Amino acid sequence: MSTHTTIKNAVPAYMRGAFAANGVGVDDLILAIHTDMTPEGDFADAYVGVDRNNLYILYGEERVVKTQGARRIVSEYETRELVTYPLKHLGVLSTQTLLSTCRLISDPEGKEEPEEEEKGKQASGKEKLVLLFSLGCQGFVDRLLKVIRNINKGEDPLKEIKEQEELFCLECGTRFPEPDRKLCPKCTDKMSIFVRLMGFFKFYKKKVATVSVTMLLVTALSILAPYVSTRLLIDEVLTPPIRHYESAATGGIVRDYDRVAGGDYIYVETLGGGWYEMVGLIVLAIMAMRFVTTAFNMLYQYVLGRTMPWMIYDLQMRIFEAMQRLSVSFYTSKRTGALMNRVSRDARNIYWFFVDGLPFIVINIAMFAGIFGMMFWMHWQLALICITIVPFAAGMFRLLRRIFRRIWHKQWTINSHMNNMVSDAVNGQRVIKAFAREGEESRRFTDMGNKHAAVDIAGANLAWTAFPMIYLFMFIGQVVVTALGGMMVIRGEISLGVLMAFLMYLGMLYGPLEFLSTVSNWWARCVDSAQRVFEVVDAKAEIEEPAQPVILESIRGEIVLDDVWFQYDPATPVLKGMNLTVPAGKTLGIVGKTGAGKSTMANLIARLYDTTEGTVKVDGVNVRDMSLSQLRASIGIVSQDIYLFMGSIVENIRYARPEATMEEVVWAAKMASAHDFIVALPDAYETRVGAGGQELSGGEKQRLSIARTIIQNPKILILDEATAAMDTETEGKIQTALNQLQSGRTTIAIAHRFSTLKDAENLAVIKDGVVVETGTHETLMRKKGEYHKLYSIQMEGLKVISME
């Protein structure tokens, strides 16, 4: 009995009914996928299923009856058409990527594994269009093709078929933006971002506790101060004690003790005047409170000032470290301006929020609660009237916050683009001047500046109109309380001191409300920034050190690429099943047109990217299993993209091995033909290069990068157009150095100029992501294939140049 691999959701439950209703044996289906177009390019729900004999395509329309977020729970399917293709008639299936769509093409006479000479021209001319689908379905179709290939080979259909990635959040059904990062944006709320940000305080617990306690004390004293300076001052110090009497006859309360001496009045209580005429004492109390408040204020600001810079430093370090950890692909998807914004501006936004925002939020919220507590304690009926203002004001502020948040985001977007434009203008200054486009560049920047100003103006206009309206509303509330409170004082229901305290507290609400409205912007900006910061911090490095890395005793340098597929963008493969072997210590020259996949191959060997399919092996070990540090230390890359870091020449040469001696540095520089030009510089090896340093020519920079690689002493050397930026004389010099460098190392040399590769022990020609020819220069020339074609074109070109 044969056993087969099983995977979850190979035939999703919601498709089973539709297939069954159309007479397809659901139990025989091995895999079913959902695509989204008809061959005519119309939108449709196309269910594609495969069993051992047939491919079924069911075109129709799905009506989702019940969902959980984006997850179908129950759906009904209205079939338009069922198309059945017997697998034996389909032949070889492949996908053709258009721009935002793909085609599934069948070639009944195509070969699954073409002979060497047929590579790159597999099509038989009998191809047939089977299915059209949007790019989003490419991954599903690839799985389907793998299953069909396995069936055709007579293997277990689900062999090497990965489990369907969990694409949806189990809580809410929202689709994960990245299947690798099981982080649901919907279920991760703003507060959790903030709580996480607060986690940065955990190293400063004592300081945070000191700040919190002093802040609360400041708040308590601030709330108590108006009570002392109004209610106590007026009712207890400035007003003589008032005795209340109750009339035995009427039961009414009388407070004028002069008029009720004797008669039938009974003494009830004495109100106010507790410290009558003790003005000095109350003034002293007011002053003492003020002094203590100021002292606490200074204390918490001092502690906070000493804590926050460290916290921001931690945050910036986390971002910077995360950026170092992330794979090259992360950087190709982010613009430099946006990344620099994350490190500097976003971290700074967070800093200001924590220094100038959060402490005052705590104070103002506590003050808000304290003021209303005092109000209710003094006279709850009047307090209830006052509190009616709050929901209206809160509603207005909430609305404002949403609008401001949009404005802040727009500002951020425009600001990032402006940063990119500045970066462009600085880096491309020579080109701008060469084409006399200064005016046009200024105009472009002005346009963006105008947009920026327009957003700023929109924000300012909103602030200037919305806030006075809120103040007006608050003022009306104060007038109402004055009127009602005044009547209560006249009726003897409250004392003058209580009314004055109420009015003072009401005035004190302005501050917190105004502040909370401002801080709502800060809060929005801080969370917005934190969100972007955490995007970097949380981003999963696509290239990770394996849990148990294989560490080889020594690396010999044998390289094997086995059926390697790779794509930078969805559904756009650059390498399409590349096979290649480079024996240890040998040199392989790689030729091919631009975009054929030569540099990509080098990137995969150094594991700057991981293959989409297939394996890259070094000394028989999959690079994914190898220790990343050992692998990278064993591979030296000299590419056409040269980057020198800010620092001296000696620091740049020692970059791969800081402990290298001065003798080794000079030796490496001489090997790379760099020594002569270095010593000619005024500061020789101490000349500062990189951003803001000494200008070097392309050839000089390249020689420094070669010296850097020589110092690294790698077992595998990848020369990716290493001499492309040099003139013939310099190239000649360096070529000699490179030839010496190559001895005893496995070398992959990628070059446009055939002259530099002619002597390579072996050559491989890459075309459209596959190796189409291999052999020595002589054998490939005799073969008169792709190599011969490319070589002849280049030689013809050179002849024309020499004739001119």
Partner 1 sequence: MEIIDTQLDLGILDVKDLRFYIADGGFLGLKHKDEDYRHIVLRRIMPMEYPMEYISVADHENKEIGILRDVAALPAEQCAMVEHELDNRYYSPQIIEVLSVRDKLGYVYMEMKLKNKQGRIYDKSCAIKDVNRNIRTLPNNSAVIFDVDGNRFIVPLISDLSKQSQKKLDAYLY
**Contact residues: partner 1, CB under 8 A:** 37, 39-43, 70, 98-101, 121, 123, 125-129, 132, 134-136, 138, 174-175, 177-178, 183, 185-186, 188, 193, 333-335, 338, 406-407, 409-410, 413-414, 416-417, 448, 451, 528, 531-532, 534-535, 538, 569-571
DSSP result, 649-697? HHHHHGGG-TT--HHHHHHHHHHTT-HHHHHHSTTGGG-EESTTS----
Q: What separation in angstroms does the CA of 101 have from each of 33, 46, 58, 59? A: 16, 14, 19, 17
CA distance 416 to 335: 9
Choice between 16 and 593, CB closer to partner 1: 593
39 vs 614, beta carbon nearer partner 1:
39
In the bound state with partner 1, the residue whose beta carbon lies nearer, of 16 and 417, is: 417
CB of 86 to partner 1, least distance (A): 16
As measured in angstroms, the least distance from the Cβ of 427 to partner 1 is 18
| Min dist. Cβ of residue 339 to partner 1 (A) | 10
Looking at the Cβ atoms of 381 and 461, the one nearer to partner 1 is: 461
- For residue 764 the two structure tokens come to 């491989």
Cβ proximity to partner 1: between 178 and 493 the closer is: 178
Helix (H) or strand (E) holding 723: none
Which CB, 178 or 321, lies closer to partner 1? 178
Nearer to partner 1, 167 or 480 (CB): 167
Q: How far apart are CA 276 and CA 240, in angstroms?
A: 6
Nearer to partner 1, 595 or 744 (CB): 595
Q: In the numeric block, which tokens belong to residue 452?
A: 């920026």
For the CB of residue 415, give the shortest distance to partner 1 in the complex, in Å.
10
Hunting for tokens 């005795």 — which residue is that? Answer: 243
First to last CA, the chain: 75
Structure token digits, residue 527: 């969370």
Min. distance of Cβ 413 from partner 1 in angstroms? 5
Do residues 439 and 447 lie in contact, with contact meaning Cβ atoms separated by under 8 Å? no
CB closer to partner 1, 413 vs 478: 413
Query: In this complex, which beta carbon is closest to partner 1, that of residue 449 or of residue 511?
Result: 449
Instruction: Quote the Cα angle for 533-300-504, to 5°.
Output: 105
- Separate counts of helices (H) and strands (E) for the chain: 24, 22
Backbone φ and ψ of 697, nearest 5°: -75, 165
In whole angstroms, give the CA distance from residue 69 to residue 109.
45
CA distance 794 to 48: 48
Least distance from C-beta 100 to partner 1, angstroms?
5
- Other Cβ atoms within 10 Å of 767 Cβ, number: 19
Q: How far is the CB of 226 from partner 1 (least distance, A)?
A: 42
- Identify the bridge partners of residue 638 per DSSP, sorted by sequence position: 719
What is the nearest approach in angstroms of partner 1 to the Cβ of residue 700?
34
**Cα dihedral 251→257→260→262 (10° resolution):** 110
Q: Minimum CB separation from partner 1 for residue 508, in Å?
A: 35
Dihedral sign, Cα of residue 7, residue 8, residue 13, residue 18: negative
Closer to partner 1 by CB, 407 or 660: give it. 407
Q: How far is the CB of 69 from partner 1 (least distance, A)?
A: 10
3-state SS track over 499-554 = HHHHHHHHHHHHHHHHHHHHHHHHHHHHHHHHHHHHHHHHCCCCCCCCCCCECCCC
Quick check: helix, strand or coil at residue 144? Answer: helix
The residue among 519, 526, 403 whose CA lies nearest residue 466 is 403
* Cα 248 from Cα 263, distance rounded (Å): 9
Which residue, chain included where needed, has tokens 């490319």?
790
**Do 700 and 642 contact (CB within 8 A), yes or no?**
no
Closest to partner 1 by CB, 437 vs 758, is 437
Contact (CB, 8 A) for 251 and 201: no
What is the smallest separation between the CB atom of 181 and partner 1, expressed in angstroms?
9
Q: From the CB of residue 202, how many other CB atoms can be counted at a distance below 10 Å?
A: 8
Residue 533 or 711: the one with the smaller Cβ distance to partner 1 is 533
How far apart are CB 137 and partner 1 at their closest, in Å? 8
Strand-pairing partners, residue 156, are: none
Angle in degrees, 0-180, between the axes of helices 496-538 and 438-490, rounded to the nearest 10: 150
Nearer CB in complex with partner 1: 160/178? 178
Taking residue 37's Cβ as centre, other Cβ atoms within 10 Å add up to: 19
Smallest gap from residue 98 Cβ to partner 1 (A)? 4
Residue closer to partner 1 (CB basis): 481 or 575: 575
Cα→Cα distances 482→500, 502, 503, 506, Å: 9, 9, 7, 10
Residues 272, 276: Cα–Cα separation, whole Å: 8
Closest approach of partner 1 to the CB of residue 789, in Å? 13
Q: At closest approach, how far in Å is the CB of 341 from partner 1?
A: 9
